């Protein structure tokens, strides 16, 4: 039975770089990752396959780079003056966080550096990589109207911390 849009789905997953087999991330043994289907909250290729699954089902899902974090954009690799990194103990491969043009947080990877310049990569670290997910659907429910509107999963432990009756939502 396929999962429709506007469902809150909880998944347990392990994701590997499909080329190397290296584990990139996993939430096995932790809280499930919850998202609302149809809201572009997880990578498109993974959501497409999860929507074909049923509660309790586990599958291995290969997600090509185009449906994950996209191809690597060579224009997103830039050289900046070393002075902009004053006070930072630079290392190749390290992740730095800065502010984008619109005040948003941006993540960059240090590719290389010398005395004059620092080469940084604005691509997502997994851009250009095919990913292999082992994923299990551990929960599924209808999203509330508020969740559909806000795109935010509401946590409900039935103890909701607001007194008796829980009519505070």
Tens digit of pLDDT for each residue in 56-107?
999 999 999 999 999 999 999 999 999 999 999 999 999 999 887 888 888 9
Residues with Cβ within 8 Å of 78's Cβ and at least 6 positions away in sequence, in order, are: 119, 120, 122
Fold of the CATH domain 7-69+127-151: Chitinase A; domain 3 (3.10.50)
Q: Could you tell me the two tokens for 127?
A: 């851009």
Looking at domain 74-121, does it have CATH number 2.40.10.330? yes
Q: Where do you find CATH 3.10.50.40 in the chain? A: 7-69+127-151
**pLDDT (0 to 100) of residue 123:** 94
Q: Where do you find CATH 2.40.10.330 in the chain? A: 74-121
Residues with Cβ within 8 Å of 140's Cβ and at least 6 positions away in sequence, in order, are: 3, 7, 8, 9, 10, 55
Instruction: Give the global pTM.
Output: 0.78
Phi, psi of 89 (to 5 degrees): -80, 90
Distances 140 to 32, 34, 87, 116 between C-alpha atoms, Å? 11, 9, 48, 53
């Amino acid at each position: 039975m396929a999962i429709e849009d506007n469902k809150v789905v909880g998944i347990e997953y392990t994701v590997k770089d499909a080329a190397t087999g290296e584990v990139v991330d996993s939430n096995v043994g932790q809280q499930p990752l919850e998202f609302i289907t149809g809201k572009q909250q997880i990578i498109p290729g993974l959501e497409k396959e999860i929507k074909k699954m049923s509660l309790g089902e586990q599958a291995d899902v290969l997600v090509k780079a185009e449906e994950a974090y996209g191809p690597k954009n060579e224009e997103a690799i830039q050289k900046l003056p070393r002075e902009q990194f004053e006070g930072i103990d630079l290392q190749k491969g390290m992740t730095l966080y800065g502010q984008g043009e619109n005040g948003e947080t941006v993540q960059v990877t240090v590719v290389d550096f010398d005395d004059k310049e620092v080469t940084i990569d604005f691509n997502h670290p997994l851009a250009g990589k095919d990913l292999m997910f082992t994923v299990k659907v551990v929960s599924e429910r209808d999203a509330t109207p508020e969740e559909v509107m806000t795109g935010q999963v509401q946590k409900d432990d039935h103890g909701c911390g607001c007194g008796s009756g829980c009519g505070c939502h």
